[in-house]
A and B are shown apart, each in its own frame.
Chain A
Amino acid sequence: MKTVTIMIALIILLFLIYLCQPKSRKMFILNLLSQVKYLIPRYFT
Protein backbone atom coordinates (compact mmCIF):
# COMPACT_ATOMS: atom_id res chain seq x y z
CA MET A 1 0.00 0.00 0.00
CA LYS A 2 2.84 2.33 0.94
CA THR A 3 4.62 1.62 -2.36
CA VAL A 4 1.47 2.37 -4.34
CA THR A 5 1.02 5.67 -2.49
CA ILE A 6 4.64 6.67 -3.17
CA MET A 7 4.28 5.78 -6.85
CA ILE A 8 1.06 7.77 -7.21
CA ALA A 9 2.68 10.74 -5.45
CA LEU A 10 5.67 10.48 -7.80
CA ILE A 11 3.45 10.36 -10.88
CA ILE A 12 1.49 13.40 -9.68
CA LEU A 13 4.76 15.24 -9.00
CA LEU A 14 6.11 14.42 -12.47
CA PHE A 15 2.81 15.53 -14.01
CA LEU A 16 2.97 18.83 -12.12
CA ILE A 17 6.58 19.36 -13.24
CA TYR A 18 5.44 18.64 -16.81
CA LEU A 19 2.65 21.23 -16.52
CA CYS A 20 5.19 23.87 -15.48
CA GLN A 21 7.35 23.33 -18.57
CA PRO A 22 7.31 25.76 -21.50
CA LYS A 23 5.22 24.78 -24.54
CA SER A 24 8.21 23.68 -26.64
CA ARG A 25 9.58 21.37 -23.92
CA LYS A 26 6.13 19.85 -23.50
CA MET A 27 6.19 19.13 -27.26
CA PHE A 28 9.60 17.44 -26.92
CA ILE A 29 8.53 15.32 -23.95
CA LEU A 30 5.19 14.30 -25.49
CA ASN A 31 6.92 13.26 -28.72
CA LEU A 32 9.31 11.01 -26.75
CA LEU A 33 6.56 9.52 -24.60
CA SER A 34 4.32 8.79 -27.58
CA GLN A 35 7.04 6.58 -29.07
CA VAL A 36 8.23 4.69 -25.99
CA LYS A 37 6.07 1.70 -26.96
CA TYR A 38 7.98 1.32 -30.25
CA LEU A 39 11.49 1.32 -28.83
CA ILE A 40 11.76 -2.45 -28.29
CA PRO A 41 10.45 -3.38 -31.77
CA ARG A 42 12.68 -0.72 -33.35
CA TYR A 43 15.69 -2.18 -31.58
CA PHE A 44 15.12 -5.36 -33.60
CA THR A 45 15.22 -3.71 -37.00
Chain B
Amino acid sequence: MNDYDVIIIGAGCGGLSSGALLSNQGRKVLVIEQSEQVGGCCSTFEKQGYKIDIGASIIEFPQVIDLCFKRMGTSFYDEVDLIPVDPTFSAILHDGSKITYPISLEETKKQIEKISPKDAKGWEEYSKKIQGFLDAALEGFFVSPAGNLTDVIKLFAKTPALLKYNRLFFSSYEGIMRKYFKNAKILESFSFHSFYAGLPPALLPGHFAMLPYAEHAGIYYSKGGMIGIPRGLQSCGERSNMEVKLNTLVKKILIKNKKVKGVMLDDGTEITTNLVISNINAKKMYFEMVGEEHLPWLAKVGLRSYAYSIASPMLYLCLDYEPPLTEHHTLMTRPMDKTNDYWNSHYLKGSFPKEQFGILSWTTKSDPSLAPKGHHIIAVTLAPGAYHLTGTTWDKEKPMLKEKIINYLADTYLPGLNDHVVLSELSTPVDFEKRLRSPEGAIYALRQDLPHSMMFRPSAKSRHIKGLYLVGASTHPGGGVPTVIASGMIVADLIEKYEK
Protein backbone atom coordinates (compact mmCIF):
# COMPACT_ATOMS: atom_id res chain seq x y z
CA MET B 1 0.00 0.00 0.00
CA ASN B 2 1.52 3.32 -1.11
CA ASP B 3 1.43 6.50 0.96
CA TYR B 4 -0.16 8.42 -1.95
CA ASP B 5 -1.68 7.64 -5.36
CA VAL B 6 0.11 10.62 -6.89
CA ILE B 7 2.98 12.83 -5.74
CA ILE B 8 3.54 16.11 -7.54
CA ILE B 9 6.90 17.84 -7.33
CA GLY B 10 6.37 21.60 -7.53
CA ALA B 11 3.27 23.68 -6.77
CA GLY B 12 3.38 25.82 -9.89
CA CYS B 13 0.16 26.27 -11.88
CA GLY B 14 0.85 23.05 -13.85
CA GLY B 15 1.38 20.98 -10.71
CA LEU B 16 -1.67 22.42 -8.96
CA SER B 17 -3.99 22.05 -11.95
CA SER B 18 -3.03 18.40 -12.46
CA GLY B 19 -3.24 17.80 -8.69
CA ALA B 20 -6.65 19.42 -8.36
CA LEU B 21 -8.02 17.48 -11.35
CA LEU B 22 -6.62 14.15 -10.13
CA SER B 23 -7.89 14.65 -6.58
CA ASN B 24 -11.26 15.43 -8.14
CA GLN B 25 -11.01 12.02 -9.84
CA GLY B 26 -10.76 10.54 -6.34
CA ARG B 27 -7.00 10.00 -6.15
CA LYS B 28 -4.98 10.69 -3.02
CA VAL B 29 -2.65 13.50 -4.08
CA LEU B 30 0.32 15.15 -2.36
CA VAL B 31 1.91 18.28 -3.83
CA ILE B 32 5.42 19.04 -2.55
CA GLU B 33 6.75 22.58 -2.95
CA GLN B 34 10.26 23.74 -2.07
CA SER B 35 9.35 27.36 -1.39
CA GLU B 36 7.10 28.94 1.21
CA GLN B 37 4.23 29.57 -1.19
CA VAL B 38 2.49 28.16 -4.25
CA GLY B 39 2.52 29.46 -7.82
CA GLY B 40 6.14 29.42 -9.06
CA CYS B 41 6.47 32.26 -11.59
CA CYS B 42 2.79 33.15 -11.08
CA SER B 43 3.06 34.19 -7.47
CA THR B 44 3.16 37.21 -5.18
CA PHE B 45 5.40 38.05 -2.25
CA GLU B 46 4.87 40.61 0.48
CA LYS B 47 7.47 43.13 1.58
CA GLN B 48 6.86 46.01 4.01
CA GLY B 49 3.15 46.07 3.25
CA TYR B 50 3.50 45.87 -0.56
CA LYS B 51 2.25 42.81 -2.44
CA ILE B 52 4.56 42.30 -5.40
CA ASP B 53 4.11 39.84 -8.27
CA ILE B 54 7.18 37.72 -8.94
CA GLY B 55 6.77 37.37 -12.72
CA ALA B 56 3.40 36.97 -14.45
CA SER B 57 1.40 40.20 -14.20
CA ILE B 58 -1.72 39.59 -16.28
CA ILE B 59 -3.97 36.70 -17.30
CA GLU B 60 -4.49 36.02 -20.98
CA PHE B 61 -6.51 33.17 -22.49
CA PRO B 62 -8.94 33.00 -19.55
CA GLN B 63 -10.99 30.55 -21.63
CA VAL B 64 -8.18 27.94 -21.40
CA ILE B 65 -7.92 28.34 -17.62
CA ASP B 66 -11.69 28.19 -17.31
CA LEU B 67 -11.70 24.81 -19.09
CA CYS B 68 -9.67 23.42 -16.20
CA PHE B 69 -12.01 24.80 -13.52
CA LYS B 70 -15.06 23.62 -15.48
CA ARG B 71 -13.74 20.06 -15.34
CA MET B 72 -14.02 20.36 -11.57
CA GLY B 73 -17.61 21.56 -11.74
CA THR B 74 -16.82 25.19 -11.06
CA SER B 75 -15.55 28.17 -13.00
CA PHE B 76 -12.43 30.33 -13.08
CA TYR B 77 -14.58 33.39 -12.54
CA ASP B 78 -16.16 31.90 -9.37
CA GLU B 79 -12.92 30.64 -7.85
CA VAL B 80 -10.64 33.63 -8.47
CA ASP B 81 -11.53 37.25 -7.85
CA LEU B 82 -10.73 38.69 -11.28
CA ILE B 83 -10.43 42.34 -12.22
CA PRO B 84 -10.95 43.05 -15.94
CA VAL B 85 -8.15 45.09 -17.52
CA ASP B 86 -9.02 47.46 -20.37
CA PRO B 87 -7.20 48.75 -22.46
CA THR B 88 -5.02 45.73 -23.13
CA PHE B 89 -1.86 47.85 -23.17
CA SER B 90 -0.20 51.05 -24.26
CA ALA B 91 3.00 50.93 -26.24
CA ILE B 92 5.48 53.77 -25.87
CA LEU B 93 7.55 53.57 -29.03
CA HIS B 94 11.26 54.38 -29.30
CA ASP B 95 10.44 57.84 -30.68
CA GLY B 96 8.29 58.62 -27.62
CA SER B 97 4.92 58.31 -29.37
CA LYS B 98 2.22 56.23 -27.76
CA ILE B 99 -0.43 53.82 -29.04
CA THR B 100 -3.18 52.42 -26.83
CA TYR B 101 -5.16 49.31 -27.70
CA PRO B 102 -8.57 48.86 -26.07
CA ILE B 103 -10.10 45.38 -25.57
CA SER B 104 -12.71 46.08 -28.24
CA LEU B 105 -11.57 44.85 -31.66
CA GLU B 106 -13.49 47.66 -33.33
CA GLU B 107 -11.96 50.36 -31.11
CA THR B 108 -8.52 48.87 -31.72
CA LYS B 109 -9.14 49.06 -35.45
CA LYS B 110 -10.00 52.75 -35.06
CA GLN B 111 -6.75 53.36 -33.17
CA ILE B 112 -4.77 51.65 -35.92
CA GLU B 113 -6.72 53.54 -38.60
CA LYS B 114 -5.56 56.85 -37.11
CA ILE B 115 -1.98 55.83 -37.84
CA SER B 116 -2.39 53.72 -40.96
CA PRO B 117 -5.70 53.06 -42.75
CA LYS B 118 -4.05 50.25 -44.68
CA ASP B 119 -3.04 48.50 -41.46
CA ALA B 120 -6.59 48.87 -40.11
CA LYS B 121 -7.61 46.56 -42.95
CA GLY B 122 -4.64 44.35 -42.04
CA TRP B 123 -5.93 44.23 -38.45
CA GLU B 124 -9.29 42.94 -39.74
CA GLU B 125 -7.63 40.20 -41.80
CA TYR B 126 -5.22 39.31 -39.00
CA SER B 127 -8.10 39.11 -36.49
CA LYS B 128 -10.07 36.80 -38.76
CA LYS B 129 -7.09 34.53 -39.36
CA ILE B 130 -6.03 34.30 -35.72
CA GLN B 131 -9.58 33.84 -34.42
CA GLY B 132 -9.94 30.85 -36.77
CA PHE B 133 -6.64 29.44 -35.52
CA LEU B 134 -7.59 29.98 -31.88
CA ASP B 135 -10.95 28.27 -32.29
CA ALA B 136 -9.17 25.22 -33.67
CA ALA B 137 -6.29 25.40 -31.16
CA LEU B 138 -8.58 25.57 -28.14
CA GLU B 139 -10.15 22.26 -29.12
CA GLY B 140 -6.94 20.47 -29.95
CA PHE B 141 -3.54 22.09 -29.74
CA PHE B 142 -3.73 23.36 -26.15
CA VAL B 143 -5.42 20.37 -24.56
CA SER B 144 -4.01 17.35 -26.42
CA PRO B 145 -0.74 15.54 -25.77
CA ALA B 146 1.98 15.92 -28.41
CA GLY B 147 4.64 13.59 -27.01
CA ASN B 148 5.20 11.55 -30.17
CA LEU B 149 4.29 11.36 -33.84
CA THR B 150 1.11 9.38 -33.13
CA ASP B 151 -0.06 12.05 -30.68
CA VAL B 152 0.63 14.80 -33.21
CA ILE B 153 -1.22 12.94 -35.98
CA LYS B 154 -4.15 12.38 -33.60
CA LEU B 155 -4.07 16.06 -32.62
CA PHE B 156 -4.40 17.17 -36.24
CA ALA B 157 -6.97 14.44 -36.97
CA LYS B 158 -9.04 15.67 -34.02
CA THR B 159 -8.91 19.26 -35.22
CA PRO B 160 -8.23 19.14 -38.99
CA ALA B 161 -8.98 22.86 -39.13
CA LEU B 162 -5.50 23.37 -37.67
CA LEU B 163 -4.00 22.17 -40.96
CA LYS B 164 -5.41 25.26 -42.63
CA TYR B 165 -3.08 27.29 -40.43
CA ASN B 166 0.11 25.31 -41.13
CA ARG B 167 1.87 28.44 -42.41
CA LEU B 168 1.70 29.81 -38.87
CA PHE B 169 3.88 26.96 -37.64
CA PHE B 170 6.54 27.35 -40.31
CA SER B 171 6.90 31.12 -40.35
CA SER B 172 8.29 33.42 -37.73
CA TYR B 173 6.23 35.72 -35.49
CA GLU B 174 7.79 38.62 -37.39
CA GLY B 175 6.92 37.06 -40.77
CA ILE B 176 3.25 36.77 -39.81
CA MET B 177 3.02 40.25 -38.32
CA ARG B 178 4.73 41.78 -41.36
CA LYS B 179 2.23 40.02 -43.62
CA TYR B 180 -0.67 41.91 -42.04
CA PHE B 181 0.95 45.16 -40.91
CA LYS B 182 3.19 47.45 -42.94
CA ASN B 183 3.39 50.59 -40.82
CA ALA B 184 6.58 50.79 -38.76
CA LYS B 185 4.79 52.18 -35.68
CA ILE B 186 2.13 49.48 -35.66
CA LEU B 187 4.75 46.77 -36.12
CA GLU B 188 6.85 48.21 -33.32
CA SER B 189 3.87 48.28 -30.96
CA PHE B 190 3.63 44.48 -31.33
CA SER B 191 7.38 43.80 -31.20
CA PHE B 192 7.79 43.01 -27.48
CA HIS B 193 4.96 40.42 -27.52
CA SER B 194 7.36 37.85 -28.94
CA PHE B 195 9.23 37.85 -25.62
CA TYR B 196 5.96 36.78 -23.94
CA ALA B 197 7.03 33.42 -25.38
CA GLY B 198 10.74 34.01 -24.82
CA LEU B 199 12.23 34.75 -28.24
CA PRO B 200 12.81 37.76 -30.49
CA PRO B 201 10.30 38.33 -33.34
CA ALA B 202 12.54 36.73 -35.97
CA LEU B 203 12.97 33.44 -34.09
CA LEU B 204 9.57 32.85 -32.52
CA PRO B 205 7.30 30.45 -34.44
CA GLY B 206 4.44 32.18 -36.25
CA HIS B 207 1.57 30.63 -34.30
CA PHE B 208 2.56 32.90 -31.39
CA ALA B 209 1.28 35.76 -33.55
CA MET B 210 -1.93 34.93 -31.70
CA LEU B 211 -0.55 36.72 -28.61
CA PRO B 212 -1.48 40.35 -29.39
CA TYR B 213 -4.90 39.24 -30.66
CA ALA B 214 -5.69 36.90 -27.78
CA GLU B 215 -5.61 39.82 -25.36
CA HIS B 216 -8.80 41.08 -26.98
CA ALA B 217 -10.74 38.08 -25.66
CA GLY B 218 -10.33 39.75 -22.26
CA ILE B 219 -7.41 40.08 -19.89
CA TYR B 220 -7.61 40.07 -16.14
CA TYR B 221 -5.69 40.74 -12.99
CA SER B 222 -6.23 38.67 -9.88
CA LYS B 223 -7.28 40.71 -6.84
CA GLY B 224 -4.62 40.49 -4.14
CA GLY B 225 -1.90 39.56 -6.65
CA MET B 226 -1.29 36.89 -9.24
CA ILE B 227 -0.97 34.27 -6.49
CA GLY B 228 -4.79 34.27 -6.54
CA ILE B 229 -4.73 31.94 -9.57
CA PRO B 230 -2.62 29.10 -8.09
CA ARG B 231 -4.51 29.57 -4.82
CA GLY B 232 -7.80 29.08 -6.69
CA LEU B 233 -6.47 25.80 -8.10
CA GLN B 234 -5.13 24.81 -4.69
CA SER B 235 -8.46 25.42 -2.97
CA CYS B 236 -10.31 23.34 -5.64
CA GLY B 237 -7.86 20.50 -5.00
CA GLU B 238 -8.03 20.80 -1.22
CA ARG B 239 -11.82 20.49 -1.35
CA SER B 240 -11.12 16.99 -2.75
CA ASN B 241 -8.47 16.32 -0.06
CA MET B 242 -5.38 17.21 -2.09
CA GLU B 243 -2.52 17.95 0.33
CA VAL B 244 0.08 20.67 -0.26
CA LYS B 245 3.34 20.50 1.66
CA LEU B 246 5.38 23.75 1.51
CA ASN B 247 9.07 24.35 2.38
CA THR B 248 9.89 20.75 1.47
CA LEU B 249 12.54 19.76 -1.01
CA VAL B 250 12.46 16.55 -3.06
CA LYS B 251 15.95 15.19 -3.59
CA LYS B 252 15.33 12.04 -5.67
CA ILE B 253 12.61 10.23 -7.54
CA LEU B 254 12.86 6.60 -6.43
CA ILE B 255 12.93 4.20 -9.36
CA LYS B 256 13.15 0.43 -9.52
CA ASN B 257 13.11 -1.58 -12.75
CA LYS B 258 12.24 1.57 -14.73
CA LYS B 259 9.14 2.15 -12.57
CA VAL B 260 8.43 4.97 -10.13
CA LYS B 261 8.39 3.81 -6.51
CA GLY B 262 8.24 7.13 -4.65
CA VAL B 263 10.27 10.18 -3.77
CA MET B 264 13.02 10.89 -1.28
CA LEU B 265 13.02 14.25 0.49
CA ASP B 266 16.07 16.31 1.33
CA ASP B 267 16.02 15.01 4.93
CA GLY B 268 16.06 11.40 3.74
CA THR B 269 12.34 10.69 4.30
CA GLU B 270 10.88 8.36 1.66
CA ILE B 271 7.26 8.69 0.52
CA THR B 272 5.89 5.88 -1.63
CA THR B 273 3.74 6.16 -4.75
CA ASN B 274 3.55 4.67 -8.24
CA LEU B 275 2.85 7.99 -9.91
CA VAL B 276 5.03 11.09 -9.84
CA ILE B 277 4.26 14.28 -11.73
CA SER B 278 7.18 16.66 -12.17
CA ASN B 279 6.40 20.36 -12.30
CA ILE B 280 10.05 21.36 -12.42
CA ASN B 281 12.49 21.89 -15.27
CA ALA B 282 12.67 18.59 -17.20
CA LYS B 283 16.42 18.76 -17.75
CA LYS B 284 17.06 19.23 -14.03
CA MET B 285 14.50 16.59 -13.08
CA TYR B 286 15.89 13.87 -15.38
CA PHE B 287 19.56 14.51 -14.60
CA GLU B 288 19.35 15.32 -10.88
CA MET B 289 16.27 13.51 -9.55
CA VAL B 290 15.93 10.52 -11.86
CA GLY B 291 19.62 9.98 -12.60
CA GLU B 292 21.47 9.31 -15.85
CA GLU B 293 21.65 5.58 -15.07
CA HIS B 294 17.92 5.28 -15.82
CA LEU B 295 18.07 7.03 -19.18
CA PRO B 296 19.03 5.62 -22.59
CA TRP B 297 21.91 7.41 -24.31
CA LEU B 298 19.74 8.96 -27.01
CA ALA B 299 17.48 10.58 -24.42
CA LYS B 300 20.54 11.95 -22.62
CA VAL B 301 21.81 13.48 -25.87
CA GLY B 302 18.36 14.99 -26.47
CA LEU B 303 18.06 16.39 -22.95
CA ARG B 304 21.55 17.91 -23.06
CA SER B 305 20.75 19.57 -26.39
CA TYR B 306 17.87 21.61 -24.98
CA ALA B 307 18.56 25.31 -24.54
CA TYR B 308 17.06 26.96 -21.51
CA SER B 309 14.50 29.66 -22.19
CA ILE B 310 15.23 33.31 -21.52
CA ALA B 311 15.67 34.63 -18.04
CA SER B 312 13.77 37.80 -17.43
CA PRO B 313 15.28 40.24 -14.94
CA MET B 314 12.60 42.11 -12.98
CA LEU B 315 12.77 45.45 -11.22
CA TYR B 316 10.19 45.82 -8.46
CA LEU B 317 9.41 49.44 -7.58
CA CYS B 318 7.29 50.53 -4.61
CA LEU B 319 6.42 54.22 -4.88
CA ASP B 320 4.87 56.98 -2.79
CA TYR B 321 3.40 58.75 -5.83
CA GLU B 322 1.05 57.88 -8.66
CA PRO B 323 3.29 57.05 -11.61
CA PRO B 324 2.74 59.00 -14.85
CA LEU B 325 1.21 55.99 -16.62
CA THR B 326 -2.29 55.35 -17.88
CA GLU B 327 -2.57 51.56 -18.22
CA HIS B 328 -1.95 48.42 -16.20
CA HIS B 329 0.51 47.34 -18.91
CA THR B 330 2.74 49.83 -20.70
CA LEU B 331 5.16 48.33 -23.19
CA MET B 332 8.46 50.08 -23.77
CA THR B 333 9.18 48.99 -27.32
CA ARG B 334 11.88 49.03 -29.98
CA PRO B 335 11.41 48.46 -33.73
CA MET B 336 11.31 44.78 -34.69
CA ASP B 337 14.77 44.78 -36.29
CA LYS B 338 16.27 46.49 -33.21
CA THR B 339 14.56 43.90 -30.98
CA ASN B 340 16.20 41.16 -33.06
CA ASP B 341 19.51 43.04 -32.91
CA TYR B 342 19.25 43.15 -29.11
CA TRP B 343 19.08 39.35 -29.11
CA ASN B 344 22.22 39.02 -31.24
CA SER B 345 24.31 41.85 -29.88
CA HIS B 346 23.38 41.79 -26.18
CA TYR B 347 21.53 38.65 -25.06
CA LEU B 348 23.72 36.14 -26.89
CA LYS B 349 26.89 38.07 -26.04
CA GLY B 350 26.16 38.27 -22.32
CA SER B 351 25.78 42.02 -21.94
CA PHE B 352 22.93 43.90 -20.28
CA PRO B 353 22.57 47.60 -21.15
CA LYS B 354 20.89 50.19 -18.92
CA GLU B 355 18.81 51.45 -21.88
CA GLN B 356 15.92 49.14 -21.30
CA PHE B 357 12.76 48.03 -23.04
CA GLY B 358 10.09 45.71 -21.67
CA ILE B 359 6.88 46.01 -19.67
CA LEU B 360 5.85 48.42 -16.95
CA SER B 361 3.19 46.55 -14.96
CA TRP B 362 1.36 49.05 -12.81
CA THR B 363 -0.49 46.50 -10.70
CA THR B 364 -1.95 49.02 -8.22
CA LYS B 365 -3.77 50.63 -11.13
CA SER B 366 -6.02 47.55 -11.17
CA ASP B 367 -5.88 46.71 -7.47
CA PRO B 368 -4.97 49.63 -5.15
CA SER B 369 -5.17 47.30 -2.11
CA LEU B 370 -1.76 45.84 -3.05
CA ALA B 371 0.02 48.84 -1.50
CA PRO B 372 -0.55 51.19 1.45
CA LYS B 373 -3.01 54.01 0.69
CA GLY B 374 -1.62 56.49 -1.84
CA HIS B 375 1.31 54.22 -2.68
CA HIS B 376 1.88 52.27 -5.88
CA ILE B 377 3.75 49.29 -7.28
CA ILE B 378 5.33 48.87 -10.70
CA ALA B 379 6.87 45.54 -11.63
CA VAL B 380 9.20 46.19 -14.54
CA THR B 381 9.85 43.23 -16.82
CA LEU B 382 13.20 44.14 -18.31
CA ALA B 383 14.66 42.94 -21.59
CA PRO B 384 15.87 39.32 -21.49
CA GLY B 385 19.17 39.00 -19.68
CA ALA B 386 21.66 36.21 -20.26
CA TYR B 387 22.43 34.10 -17.19
CA HIS B 388 26.15 34.28 -17.89
CA LEU B 389 27.36 37.86 -18.26
CA THR B 390 30.60 38.38 -20.14
CA GLY B 391 33.46 39.49 -17.91
CA THR B 392 31.33 40.02 -14.82
CA THR B 393 28.52 38.49 -12.73
CA TRP B 394 24.98 39.52 -11.88
CA ASP B 395 25.81 39.70 -8.17
CA LYS B 396 28.67 42.13 -8.90
CA GLU B 397 26.60 44.28 -11.28
CA LYS B 398 23.33 44.26 -9.36
CA PRO B 399 23.62 47.34 -7.07
CA MET B 400 24.97 49.67 -9.78
CA LEU B 401 22.66 48.28 -12.43
CA LYS B 402 19.59 48.87 -10.30
CA GLU B 403 20.49 52.54 -9.83
CA LYS B 404 21.34 52.97 -13.51
CA ILE B 405 18.01 51.46 -14.66
CA ILE B 406 16.01 53.56 -12.19
CA ASN B 407 17.78 56.69 -13.47
CA TYR B 408 17.14 55.64 -17.07
CA LEU B 409 13.42 55.07 -16.37
CA ALA B 410 13.21 58.44 -14.57
CA ASP B 411 14.76 60.15 -17.61
CA THR B 412 12.48 58.41 -20.10
CA TYR B 413 9.23 56.69 -19.15
CA LEU B 414 8.67 57.64 -15.49
CA PRO B 415 9.55 61.30 -14.81
CA GLY B 416 9.91 62.04 -11.10
CA LEU B 417 10.62 58.42 -10.26
CA ASN B 418 13.90 59.10 -8.46
CA ASP B 419 12.23 61.10 -5.67
CA HIS B 420 9.48 58.59 -4.99
CA VAL B 421 11.04 55.15 -4.69
CA VAL B 422 10.24 53.79 -1.22
CA LEU B 423 11.48 50.31 -1.92
CA SER B 424 13.18 48.74 -4.91
CA GLU B 425 14.51 45.31 -5.71
CA LEU B 426 16.23 44.01 -8.82
CA SER B 427 15.63 40.32 -9.36
CA THR B 428 18.35 38.95 -11.62
CA PRO B 429 18.40 35.58 -13.41
CA VAL B 430 20.55 34.32 -10.51
CA ASP B 431 17.90 35.46 -8.00
CA PHE B 432 15.21 33.71 -10.04
CA GLU B 433 17.28 30.55 -10.00
CA LYS B 434 17.61 30.73 -6.21
CA ARG B 435 14.00 31.66 -5.56
CA LEU B 436 12.32 29.21 -7.96
CA ARG B 437 15.09 26.61 -8.35
CA SER B 438 14.76 27.15 -12.07
CA PRO B 439 18.10 26.46 -13.81
CA GLU B 440 19.66 29.65 -15.19
CA GLY B 441 16.52 31.50 -14.07
CA ALA B 442 14.69 30.24 -17.18
CA ILE B 443 11.11 31.50 -17.01
CA TYR B 444 9.70 29.15 -19.68
CA ALA B 445 11.97 26.21 -18.78
CA LEU B 446 13.15 25.49 -22.33
CA ARG B 447 13.34 27.59 -25.46
CA GLN B 448 10.08 27.75 -27.42
CA ASP B 449 11.20 27.62 -31.05
CA LEU B 450 10.08 24.87 -33.43
CA PRO B 451 12.92 22.41 -32.64
CA HIS B 452 11.89 22.63 -28.95
CA SER B 453 8.16 22.23 -29.59
CA MET B 454 5.50 19.52 -29.50
CA MET B 455 7.08 16.06 -29.99
CA PHE B 456 10.56 17.60 -29.74
CA ARG B 457 9.84 18.92 -26.23
CA PRO B 458 10.05 16.44 -23.32
CA SER B 459 7.03 14.15 -23.40
CA ALA B 460 4.26 14.64 -20.83
CA LYS B 461 4.26 10.86 -20.29
CA SER B 462 7.83 9.80 -19.73
CA ARG B 463 9.07 7.50 -22.47
CA HIS B 464 11.53 5.76 -20.17
CA ILE B 465 10.16 5.65 -16.64
CA LYS B 466 6.75 4.11 -16.00
CA GLY B 467 4.61 6.24 -13.75
CA LEU B 468 6.52 9.48 -14.41
CA TYR B 469 4.64 12.41 -15.94
CA LEU B 470 5.62 16.00 -16.73
CA VAL B 471 3.63 19.21 -16.46
CA GLY B 472 4.59 22.87 -16.66
CA ALA B 473 6.65 24.85 -19.11
CA SER B 474 9.04 21.96 -19.89
CA THR B 475 6.44 20.02 -21.83
CA HIS B 476 3.79 20.69 -24.49
CA PRO B 477 2.16 23.25 -24.93
CA GLY B 478 4.98 25.24 -23.27
CA GLY B 479 5.45 28.19 -20.94
CA GLY B 480 2.85 30.75 -19.83
CA VAL B 481 0.11 30.57 -17.19
CA PRO B 482 -2.75 29.27 -19.40
CA THR B 483 -0.51 26.80 -21.23
CA VAL B 484 0.98 25.27 -18.08
CA ILE B 485 -2.54 24.89 -16.69
CA ALA B 486 -3.40 23.17 -20.00
CA SER B 487 -0.44 20.82 -19.47
CA GLY B 488 -2.04 19.86 -16.14
CA MET B 489 -5.26 18.96 -17.97
CA ILE B 490 -3.32 16.88 -20.51
CA VAL B 491 -1.55 14.90 -17.78
CA ALA B 492 -4.75 14.36 -15.79
CA ASP B 493 -6.26 12.88 -18.99
CA LEU B 494 -3.19 10.72 -19.65
CA ILE B 495 -3.23 9.35 -16.10
CA GLU B 496 -6.96 8.66 -16.32
CA LYS B 497 -6.26 6.75 -19.55
CA TYR B 498 -3.10 4.83 -18.66
CA GLU B 499 -3.12 4.47 -14.86
CA LYS B 500 -6.47 2.92 -13.93
Q: Which residues of A contact B (CB under 8 A)?
A: 23-25, 27-28, 31-32, 35-36, 38-45
Contact = CB atoms under 8 A, between A and B. Distances in A.
A40 B201 CA distance: 26
Contact of B301 (A24, A27, A28, A41): A41
Contacts of A41: 298-299, 301-302, 305
Chain A interface helix/strand/loop/mixed: helix
A32 B301 CA distance: 18
Contacts of B492: none
Interface string B285-307: 01000000000101101110110
Contacts of A25: 172, 175, 202
Contact of B302 (A23, A32, A45): A45
Given A24-B340, A32-B450, A32-B451, A42 B202 contact: no
Contact of A39 (B172, B296, B340, B456): B456
A45 to B, nearest CB: 4
Interface in B449-497: 449-452, 455-459, 463
Chain B binding surface, main DSSP class: helix
B337 interface: yes
Identify which of B203, B286, B337, B459 gathers the most chain A CB atoms within 10 Å of its CB: B203
B202 A27 contact: yes
Given A27-B203, A36-B451, A45 B172 contact: no
B174 interface: yes
A44 B174 CA distance: 30
A45 B282 CA distance: 9
Interface residues of B, number: 33
A43 B456 contact: yes
B299 A27 contact: no
B451 A43 contact: no
Given A23-B337, A25-B202, A42 B451 contact: yes
Contact of B451 (A23, A24, A38): A38
Contact of B299 (A23, A39, A45): A45
A42 B456 contact: yes
Nearest to A29: B172
B337 A24 contact: yes
A24 B148 CA distance: 30
A24 B302 contact: no
18 contacts: A23-B202, A24-B174, A24-B175, A24-B202, A28-B172, A28-B175, A28-B202, A28-B203, A32-B450, A38-B451, A39-B451, A40-B298, A41-B301, A42-B305, A42-B306, A42-B451, A44-B296, A45-B458
B261 to A, nearest CB: 22
B39 to A, nearest CB: 26
B300 to A, nearest CB: 8
B336 interface: yes
A43 B450 contact: no
A38 B336 CA distance: 29
A2 B343 CA distance: 43
Nearest to A26: B202
Given A24-B201, A41-B299, A45-B463, 8 more contacts: A23-B340, A31-B449, A31-B451, A38-B302, A40-B298, A42-B451, A43-B149, A45-B282
